[in-house]
Every structure is written in C-alpha cells, then in structure tokens.
Amino acid sequence: MYSLLRNTRLLLSQGKIFWREVGVGPDLVFLHGSWHDSNQWLPIIENLSKDNHCLAPDLLGFGDSEFPNVHHSIDLAVDCLAEYLDALKLEKVYLVAHSLGAWVAASYALKHLDRVEGLILIAPEGVEVPSTKGRRLWARVLGDPLFLPVWLLRSLFPLARLLGLGKQLKSQLQLRLKMRFSPTANHLLFRRRWAEIQAELLTEHLSYLKVPTLILQGSEDSQIALSMSEAYADLAPMAKLQLIEDSNHNLVEEKPEAIAQYIRDFLGNC
C-alpha cells in the first residue's frame, strides 16, 4: 500500500495543507488527534484502502502543513476543511476523527450536514462536562514556560512513587511535553480565552447533528474523556457509543485493526 500512497500539498486561503491519499471507493477523510498528525492513521488506512478512498490531511499548524501566523480556532479549522474538500471536489464524505480532530469533524458536520455521510468520532473533544474548565486552567499552568522545568518534574518521581502518585506525575510530564511540541493543539485546547473556547463547544448544538455517528472510546481512558464521549452519544440523536475494553486515549495506535473493523462495519450499515 505504501508504494501507492500519494503525498500532496494544496495552498488554501489561510496556508498550505499537506495530506496523504490512497485507494478507490467511498471517500473517507481522517482527521488526526490533538498531539498527532496524519501519520497516526497509516495502519488504519492500510487496512481500509483496498475498498475505500482514504485521505488524511495534517490540520493547519500541524505536521507537514503550514504553520501560518494566524489566530487558530475550531472555526478556522472547519473553514480550511471545507475549502480543502471543495478544492478536491468531494461532494459527500465520511469523517473519521480523533480527539481535537473529532471536534473539528463534528463542527464541520453541523455546518455542512448535507455533505457528510457519517461520522466516526474517537475520544472526541469539544463538549463541556464537569472538570472541563478546571482541566483547562491546570493545563495553562502546566504548559507555561515559567512553570517547573521538565528536569525538576522528573526529579520528583521517587517521591511521587512513594506517595503512590508516580502514574499521575508521569502523565502530567507527558502532557507538558506534548504541549511543547504541539503548540497549535496547546493553543486550541488550553491557551485561548475561556469565553472563546466556550463559544465553540458543541454541547448545545449536538441535538442538530442528525447524521449516523459512531463514538469509539477506550474504556481505560480518563474520566473526563469518557464523560465527553457519553455526552456526544447522549446529545446527538443518531449517535451510538462503543466502549473498547483495555484501551486508553491512544486507541488509534493501540487497536488499529479493531478500529478499521468498526469503520468497515459502520460503512456497511450506513
């Protein structure tokens, strides 16, 4: 499959977009998660490309797409996605999306419902649940360059283990590193004003998301991630939640064959 994979760039009004493309059949557009790029989807695309036309763009400000000096927002990402699909003359697509990408995908579907055949959302962001604002406030502190340096956080591991907090400290250190190396995701999720983020949340709009939707969620993910997936499933009228056992937030990387099979079954039932 990789010899047939095409890597392409397209200049949009806000910047240059990079994407990977392969296969023939129903149009599946894959939107990566917060701390990833289109590479995230390669094992799943390999599994599906025999019978589907698979496209995996890097969102603007991620991966090999351009990092323009613009104010990033979910609305901007949605507009770029719409322009990208228009340029490729893709009239109606399935959107497969993870985390931040799922927020973009659901927002796009709400604006362009007639152009979406179905949604597969994996551990989606974009709704307000208990602890949403608290998580953001803590992440702003954690991601601040003046916060405790990484080496000092690492030095606290022995004490954290003695107190039974080693796992929690490790996860916070990993998040800090992700925020450092994914500044656009950090900005979109945590660095904007709360009023701006709140205005783009989908909690009050999901009742209008009348398109077949499958929510995939790892059963071992954080409670806030589980709550977000449950909110999508409860509020979107055509949504179904599927918990995948023994999986966490890295569901796409951990279970690519299982995810591909869920996508295949979903396409067969639409």
For residue 21, the cross-strand partners are 6, 55
Same-domain pairing of 29 and 85: yes
Answer yes or no: are the C-beta atoms of 35 and 100 closer than 8 Å.
Answer: no
In terms of domains, do 175 and 212 share one? no
Q: What are residue 128's phi and psi, to 5 degrees?
A: -95, 120
Sign of the CA dihedral 244, 248, 254, 259?
positive
Find out whether 73 and 187 touch, Cβ atoms under 8 Å: no
Write out the H or E segment, with its range, that includes residue 122: strand 116-122
Instruction: Confirm whether 198 is domain-assigned.
Output: no
188 found inside a domain = no
pLDDT at position 156 over 60: yes
Examine the domain organization and report whether 15 and 124 are in the same domain: yes
pLDDT, the chain, mean: 90
- Average pLDDT (187-204) is 93
Is residue 237 domain-shared with residue 136, that is, in the same domain? no
Helix (H), strand (E) counts: the chain: 12, 8
Q: Is 192 among the domain residues?
A: no
Same domain, 157 and 30: no
**Could you tell me if residue 195 is inside a domain?**
no
Domain count, the chain: 2
pLDDT of residue 257: 95
Quick one: 138 and 104 in the same domain? Answer: no
The confidence score (pLDDT) of residue 181 equals 83
- Looking at the fold, whether 10 and 47 belong to one and the same domain comes out as yes
Instruction: Say whether pLDDT at 72 is over 60.
Output: yes
The answer as to whether 257 is a domain residue is yes
Given a cut of 70, is residue 225 above it in pLDDT? yes
Residue 20 lies in a domain: yes
Q: Based on the domain organization, do 162 and 219 belong to the same domain?
A: no
Element (H, E) at 55: strand 53-57
Q: Return the ∠ at Cα 119 (arms to 114 and 123), rounded to 5°.
A: 145
Q: pLDDT tens, 136-148?
A: 777 777 777 666 6
Q: Are residues 28 and 93 in the same domain?
A: yes
66 within some domain: yes
- Asked, for residue 236, whether it belongs to a domain, the answer is yes
Q: Is 263 left (phi over 0), alpha (psi -120 to 50) or beta?
A: alpha
Q: Which domain holds residue 145?
A: 132-183
Asked if 18 and 98 sit in the same domain, the reply is yes
Predicted pLDDT of residue 2: 46
